[in-house]
Structure 1
Amino acid sequence: MLDPKDHLAATLKLTRQTQGLSLDKTAEKTGVSKAMLGQIERGESSPTVATLWKIATGLGVSLSTFIEPVPETKTQTIVRTADTIRQHPGDDGLMIAPLFPFEQAFGFEFLELTFLPGYERISEAHEPGVMEIVSLITGQLDILSDGQWHNLKQGQSIRFAGDRTHGYRNPTDAKAVVHTLIHYPHRP
């Protein structure tokens, strides 16, 4: 399996080139500096999940596109274990396991996210029509949607529009683990 940093570098460069974009144009579309994009493409930088989201949204691709290749088999049963694929990109208090990366045929990605104690992030709006469903497996987590923080307890789920500003906050001193499904309705 390709090293996560190498996969990210190769995928960003290929996505950018496939769309006919220079680093300058990519920086304009994503809000991420040309210098940072160049460092990522050269494998010199491990961006945070927030930065990856900005790049993914600006380029119109899923977050998991940059984390792991789509599994090769599409017609057979696939079993994946979060412990073997969990990553800590950018070391920003969030670990991510792309249980099922985005596939065009399904229109969604299914992730396990682990929010370390004290983690907080306000996420910019994703592309129009994106929906997120978050189910809390362990711990406690606050989700910001429609301008209001919702406190999730273990076993609770929330669905919200990912195409608006939203956020995640772990106000406790224990990790919070969620399963999240992100649906991208406008992908060809």
Structure 2
Amino acid sequence: MSMNDTPEIGPVIQRERKARHLTLEQLAARSGVSKSMLSQIERSEANPTFAVLWSLTQALKIDFTDLIAGGVAHRQANPIELVPVAHTPEIKSPDGAWKLRILSPPALAGRMEWYDVEIAPKGRLESAPHAPGTFEHLTARSEGLVVETEQGRQELGEGETARYRADVVHKILNGGAEAAHALMVVLYE
């Protein structure tokens, strides 16, 4: 391909979709790009925007540069997905009382989520009620954590797990003098 040639994107998208045994409908659902637009792209009848191409590369788990270069070097997809620390999303309280690292994949949001929890000394993580039927499972990786809901209070020792309704106001407190750590799993009904 010379510097002036337009990359053949359609055939690459189609080849990568078929290599993953995806139908047009399945790739449309994963990418948010309509089935008719996908079909036009694969037949090289449409000139997709950068945003559309980005959505497709993310859905197919291919590098954007591979797409533009004419295809993914025929390499096997890694059967183990690795998320680098720098790509692990974090939520921090404005006052520095707590930090949540989101460990679950985005596709599971609203069904099942898991977090690495860090609460500063004497800090608290307060939550409004989640959707009806939601439960949290908090496993303490250090001493000092306490779970409180309107239904009770429970202190946790290192390694212990508290399971509680999260469809009510609830909070996790760190009564210790050191930062407290836990793993939290949230299950939505």
The residue type paired with residue 158 of structure 1 is A
User: Residue 116 of structure 1 aligns with which residue?
Assistant: 120
Where does residue 153 of structure 1 map in the other structure? 157
Over residues 124-144 of structure 1, what are the superposed CA-to-partner deviations in whole Å (9 max), with x where a residue is unaligned? 211111111110112320001
1:86–1:95 CA contact under 8 A, matched in 2: no
Partners of 2:128 and 2:160 lie apart in 1 by: 24
* Aligned amino acid, residue 97 of structure 1: R
Aligned length: 116
Residues 67-115 of structure 1: CA deviation (Å, up to 9, x unaligned): xxx9986x94333466863633424311111011442499201110100
- Alignment partners' CA distance in 2, 1:154 and 1:133: 14
Identity %: 17
Q: Would the aligned equivalents of 1:108 and 1:184 in 2 still touch at CA under 8 Å?
A: yes
- Is residue 2:185 matched to residue 1:181? yes
Q: 2 CA distance for matches of 1:82 and 1:146?
A: 35
Tell which structure's C-alpha radius of gyration is larger: 2
Counterparts of 2:118 and 2:112 in 1: how far apart (Å)? 19
2:102 counterpart residue number: 98
Q: CA RMSD in A?
A: 3.2
Name the structure 2 match of 1:51: none
Say which SS state the counterpart of residue 90 (structure 1) adopts: coil
In the TM superposition, residue 122 of structure 1 has moved relative to its aligned partner by 3.6
| d(CA) in 2 for partners of 1:114, 1:165 | 20
Structure 1 residues 122 and 107, CA gap change in structure 2 (3 angstroms): closer
Q: Cα deviations across residues 35-61 of structure 1 (Å, max 9, x unaligned)?
A: xxxxxxxxxxxxxxxxxxxxxxxxxxx
Aligned counterparts of 2:109 and 2:163: Cα–Cα separation in 1 = 22
Corresponding residue to 2:133 among 129, 133, 138: 129
Q: Which runs of 5+ in 1 are unaligned?
A: 1-69
1:77 to 76, 80, 105: 80
Letter in 2 for 1:181: V
SS at match of 1:153: coil
TM-score normalised per structure 1? 0.52
Shift of 1:145: 2.9
1:2-81 counterparts in 2 under 5 A? Answer: 76-80=79-83
Q: Could you tell me which runs of 5 or more consecutive residues in structure 2 were left unpaired when the two chains were aligned.
A: 1-57, 62-77
Q: How does 1:159-178 map to 2 (within 5 A)?
A: 159-178=163-182
